[in-house]
Structure 1
């Protein structure tokens, strides 16, 4: 691979422009088969150099900031929500070690970041199944741990190279974190992703049955069921990127609805719907901005989690509301698949399900306001 050529091209055309150009191509084929994993789209993003966009320049990457990565994902989502959401899971897994390298001078993340830049490997996140409580079983054996687990919501599973995951050592009640090669004979992708929306993300379950992780490959040990400083970094950085995707979906739904509404004779009812839609969308945009401002302070903490998770709720709620209003404002035309609006209506529903969901988020915010412990609220 000609890395210098890639870096030169990324300077000539920034990652947001690349995402927009490729996204227009993705949109042209997005109606063909929604259940089909967007493998060709991810390959195109890889060929364009976006896989390593967030890796620091000195390690061979594009050196993109969190703001730039968020914009890349937002613009991509305007064209294809599934591609953007699947790619956001890789993107945040790159952004987190890049932040640790840049701001905490953590040398241990260098080999991973260099692999991403040099080999353009795709990182997978097992998301909800590896939240604060952890999941799966890590059994101590000679020289390492035998892993038995089923990881759900593993976006881009069919094309991933390395699953960033963990398992629980029941003997110590610790979650062990490690990268697991997807080409292991003990790893299998199960065909489980048949869903309401975001159908092309390939977020299948991954079964791990007996893969042994060497002791030296354990990157972190932490108490199960409790917030850890690393998860303060993860929660602060990851969710502004993921929710940039849902904002992009809502913005594109709004544009479709306005286009359809303009074809009809306007009345006060339509004016009201469109006005409410734009107001909800603006609330989502402002909330996403607040999330990125929390990241920009470069001080992950319980407080930054609170700010980001309030923003996550506000983006999600208002993006969903904006798309609901778009369906109404567009009239019967919006009910047809060819318009692309009903797909966005289904895709936006995914905003409900990422951590922290509404109950834990409100409990976390309440505990913060009252000065009570938040260590086990997740």
Structure 2
């Protein structure tokens, strides 16, 4: 082994992983979680901790000034983060996947166009936002072609972390006689044409600040359009997005289920064990293990480094399995805890509400089953989303 390789190995072994950076933050995050949930307040102070810990830039390649974390390492960070505060983990997963996707493209597709964005994340620690389901395959909002660019008006829902964001990675639909298309661009959140509406009053994940963002006649220059694609149809970029993003997002729900299991076991151990309790604990751990195995499969699909219709199918199968079994595990955790788990002070009912969010990300149960069925039968999937 050369001296250069030895030095590189030593440095890699001594630099904390993202998960190791999160670990000391967990008691603080856990201590704030109940008040954040009860007040429907965004996790602003927690984001400040993440920034101080160097986690904003964790997914940026080291060559561009970031932490160089892999998708698997970022998933581990988010899973662990959910043990402290579900809302912080879910909101931060949206920034994390918006960094991981261009990082992957820079590394594996030599996409030089993403380099300035990644350097800004590393150097300025800017927060990237995703408008989630409202910018899915069909697109949303309206883009009118004008001289030199487009005028965009839209209402983007489920914009997690909107209050803290610097750039919203979004798109808008351009209507055309030959069919609709979608332009993609970065929207500065401080632009005067952008407003955040205080709409986030929900069953669970109450601290994510996933408010609606209203855009009124914002000008996007032609040079600011990163991509134009056909509306309502899968594009290779969305195959990349789906393959990389959802193992990160669902790492959060896995972490929520694991934390619910910890709370339930702590409560149950304080009581005499009965046969029914043994069975509940066993069923809970079986469901949780199924979720863990499914999530591990999602990460292995990412490691193929070949996004396609097939990897979308495999990741989305994993997404459904993680959701089903994580929800089941938390259901059983609440039952195992008994009446004690019904009290808000124990935190289990909050986790029970938070895990319900796993139902609602794409591909939801119906489209996912149709997509998998079409793949199995050799049918087209381009418009199944």
Q: TM-score, normalised by structure 1?
A: 0.97
Corresponding position of 1:19: 22
- Note the 1:168-183 alignment, pairs <5 A: 168-171=173-176, 173-183=180-190
Among candidates 202, 217, 223, match of residue 195 of structure 1:
202
- Note the 1:151-300 alignment, pairs <5 A: 151-171=156-176, 173-300=180-307
Distance 1:342 1:109, change over 3 A: same
In 2, the alpha carbon distance for the partners of 1:177 and 1:50 equals: 26
* Structure 1: 5+ residue stretches without partners: 1-7
Deviation at 1:143, TM superposition (A): 1.2
Among candidates 146, 149, 154, match of residue 141 of structure 1:
146
Corresponding position of 1:30: 33
Q: Is the 8 A contact 1:246 1:316 kept in 2?
A: yes
Deviates most, 100-109 or 21-30: 21-30
In 2, the alpha carbon distance for the partners of 1:307 and 1:197 equals: 28
**Residue-by-residue CA offset, 1:218-246 (whole Å, 9 max, x unaligned):** 00000000000000000000000000000
The question of 1:64 aligning with 2:45 is answered no
The question of 1:339 aligning with 2:346 is answered yes
Q: Is the 8 A contact 2:36 2:206 kept in 1?
A: no
Q: Is the 8 A contact 2:78 2:251 kept in 1?
A: yes
Corresponding position of 1:131: 136
SS in 1 for 2:95: helix
In 1, the alpha carbon distance for the partners of 2:343 and 2:188 equals: 42
In 2, the alpha carbon distance for the partners of 1:44 and 1:211 equals: 32
Deviation at 1:103, TM superposition (A): 0.3
In 2, the alpha carbon distance for the partners of 1:362 and 1:73 equals: 27
Deviation at 1:22, TM superposition (A): 1.1
Corresponding position of 1:4: none
Q: Is the 8 A contact 1:10 1:62 kept in 2?
A: no
The question of 1:87 aligning with 2:92 is answered yes
In 1, the alpha carbon distance for the partners of 2:238 and 2:383 equals: 12
SS in 1 for 2:19: helix
Deviation at 1:11, TM superposition (A): 4.8
Q: Is the 8 A contact 1:26 1:79 kept in 2?
A: yes
Deviation at 1:141, TM superposition (A): 1.3
Question: What RMSD over aligned residues (CA atoms) do the two structures have, in Å?
Answer: 1.1
Deviation at 1:138, TM superposition (A): 0.2
Q: TM-score, normalised by structure 2?
A: 0.95
Q: Is the 8 A contact 1:168 1:176 kept in 2?
A: yes
Deviation at 1:9, TM superposition (A): 11
In 2, the alpha carbon distance for the partners of 1:241 and 1:150 equals: 25
**Residue-by-residue CA offset, 1:62-113 (whole Å, 9 max, x unaligned):** 0000000000000000110000000000000000000000000010000000
Corresponding position of 1:321: 328
In 1, the alpha carbon distance for the partners of 2:319 and 2:36 equals: 30
SS in 1 for 2:203: coil
Deviation at 1:12, TM superposition (A): 3.5
Q: Is the 8 A contact 1:191 1:204 kept in 2?
A: yes
Corresponding position of 2:47: 42
Deviates most, 32-41 or 363-372: 32-41
Deviation at 1:46, TM superposition (A): 1.1
SS in 1 for 2:126: coil
Q: Is the 8 A contact 2:295 2:322 kept in 1?
A: yes
Among candidates 311, 319, 334, match of residue 312 of structure 1:
319
In 2, the alpha carbon distance for the partners of 1:103 and 1:284 equals: 29
